[in-house]
Amino acid sequence: MNVLLTGGCGFIGSNLVRLLLAERPEWRIVNLDKLTYAGNAENLADLAGNPRHRFVRGDICNGELIADLFRTEKIEAVMHLAAESHVDRSILSPSVFIETNVRGTQVLLEAAREFGVQRFLHVSTDEVYGSLGPTGLFTELTPLDPSSPYSASKASSDLLALAYAHTFKLPVVVTRCSNNYGPWQFPEKLIPLMIANAVRDLPLPVYGDGLNVRDWIHVEDHARGLLAALERGVPGQVYNFGAASERHNIDIVKLVLTLTGKPESLIKYVTDRLGHDRRYAIDAAKATRELGWAPRHQFERALAETVRWYQANRAWWERIISGEYLKYYAQQYGTKS
Ligand code: NAD
Ligand code: TYD
């Protein structure tokens, strides 16, 4: 099968490309990625020369390029991950989130409609559901109630994808996963940022009271879920993924300090994120029941492995947090107190 995978040089995309090449030897992956600050061709450097992986640098908003790829590569399925993905950046500069996440998705849906595909997997997020109170879980029937420009742009693209399934009978499957962690994650997100700061003895910026809750899943478990959804998902259906690993932010930060052997005096409580969602928690029973999927990684053990990966790959993240990222860091954290 010829698969167009968008965003394959990002965190989840690069882990997914590796999984697909290993587990589906008859598939060919065309990886379309714009290489924004978050995308890094180095993430897949070990695949150079692999005839089953073609990297194309380009923008999902470029309809002509997409049509050309569908035609020349005889695309049969789409796995759509490319997106602007960081909530804090969406608060600083929302426009690019609308352009890439909403318009870019619509360009891909149109091309899939024109050329025909067996499956269009749209990778959405649990953040489309908004924030939970202290109890309860997101199910696929929870009403969408996004709160940040990021989650609103993802909710828009999620609904567009479902509208193409309903109106045009495009075989769309939508997945909504909780927070991922693991290797190759850009160190602007909570876990890699805290690891990178801890190993350099820099302050660990905790938003608000540190008691917000996220439900963590290892990226490889998510990638396996995406493969299962592509192969066994029913068109027009939504599948949640999560690993029942709710943790308070502050507990994760303390664990990172323990794992890196650094003192808790590095913790710095800073001004809260605007509109900060309090709690996310996923009910993944539908994916387990209907896709035969289950997470394999246990959070504390896999977090320890992740910390070791960042320690061993310091050159990788030190290179990518130079330049543009330093400007972002100063803008995001420079004035926080
Ligand atoms: P990421 O920011 O690490 O990677 C995004 C990739 O998309 C980058 O390689 C970037 O270069 C590429 N990209 C951005 N704009 C593009 C454009 N206009 N055209 C082509 N490529 C473009 O993101 P991630 O964490 O790997 O997330 C991947 C997907 O999974 C996103 O759709 C995100 O919303 C979703 N998701 C992420 C999480 C998470 O915890 N990280 C959880 C659930 C869902
Ligand atoms: P993040 O990794 O940005 O994921 P999301 O907001 O999409 O869930 O943040 C995870 C949690 O960590 C969220 O509650 C915000 C918090 N956080 C901090 O406390 N400090 C930080 O520097 C960052 C980046 C996040």
Question: Is residue 205 within 6 Å of ligand 2 at its C-beta?
Answer: yes
SS3 106: helix
Q: How far is the CA of 16 from the centre of ligand 2 (A)?
A: 23
Share of the chain above pLDDT 70, in %: 99
The CA–CA distances, whole Å, from 169 to 62, 116, 198, 254 equal: 24, 10, 49, 48
pLDDT at site 210? 98
The ranges of the chain annotated as CATH 3.40.50.720 are: 2-180+217-241
CATH number (1.10.287.70, 1.10.3720.10, 3.40.50.720, 2.60.40.1220) of 2-180+217-241 reads: 3.40.50.720
Report field, pTM of the whole predicted structure over 0.85: yes
Rounded to the nearest 10°, the torsion over CA 252, 258, 264, 269 is: -20
Q: For the segment 89-134, what is each residue's pLDDT rounded down to a tens digit? A: 999 999 999 999 999 999 999 999 999 999 999 999 999 999 999 9
Residue whose CA is closest, atom 20 of ligand 2? 206
User: Phi and psi (nearest 5°) for 247?
Assistant: -140, 145
Name the average pLDDT for the chain: 97
Q: How far is CA 274 from the centre of its chain?
A: 21
Q: Which residue's CA is the closest to the ligand 2 atom numbered 4? A: 189
**163-183: average pLDDT:** 98
How much distance in Å is there from the Cα of 277 to the middle of ligand 2?
10
pLDDT score for 335: 67
Backbone region of residue 62 per phi and psi (left: phi > 0; alpha: psi in -120 to 50; beta: other values): beta
Residue type, 42: E
What is the third-level CATH fold of 184-214+244-274+298-327?
UDP-galactose 4-epimerase; domain 1 (3.90.25)
Query: Which residue blocks in the chain are alpha helix, DSSP H?
Result: 11-23, 63-73, 87-92, 95-97, 105-115, 149-168, 190-199, 219-232, 249-260, 285-291, 299-312, 314-320, 324-333
DSSP string, 59-102: -TT-HHHHHHHHHHHT--EEEE------HHHHHH--HHHIIIII
Give yes or no for residue 34 CB within 6 A of ligand 1: yes
Residues 164 and 113: beta-carbon distance below 8 Å: yes
Across the range 299-324, mean pLDDT stands at: 94
The residues of the chain that CATH labels 3.90.25.10 are 184-214+244-274+298-327
Q: Name the burial class of residue 69, with classes exposed (0-12), middle (13-18) and buried (19+) by CB atoms within 10 angstroms of its CB.
A: buried
Q: Which two tokens stand for residue 330?
A: 């100063």
Beta bridge partners of 267: 204
DSSP H or E segment with residue 32: strand 28-33
Q: Is 126 a catalytic residue?
A: yes
Question: How far is 65 from 79, CA to CA, in rounded Å?
Answer: 17
CA distance 220 to 202: 29
79: CA distance to ligand 2 center in Å? 26
Q: How far apart are CA 126 and CA 258, in angstroms?
A: 29
Q: How confident is the model at residue 135 (pLDDT cuts 50, 70, 90)?
A: very high
Catalytic residue among 127, 220, 246, 277: 127
Is 150 catalytic? The answer is yes
Burial of 51 (0-12, 13-18, 19+ CB in 10 A): exposed
Asked if pLDDT for residue 140 goes beyond 90, the answer is yes
What is the dihedral sign for C-alpha 182, 186, 191, 197? positive
pLDDT digits (tens, 9 = 90+) for 55-78: 999 999 999 999 999 999 999 999
Q: Whose CA is closest to atom 3 on ligand 2?
A: 189
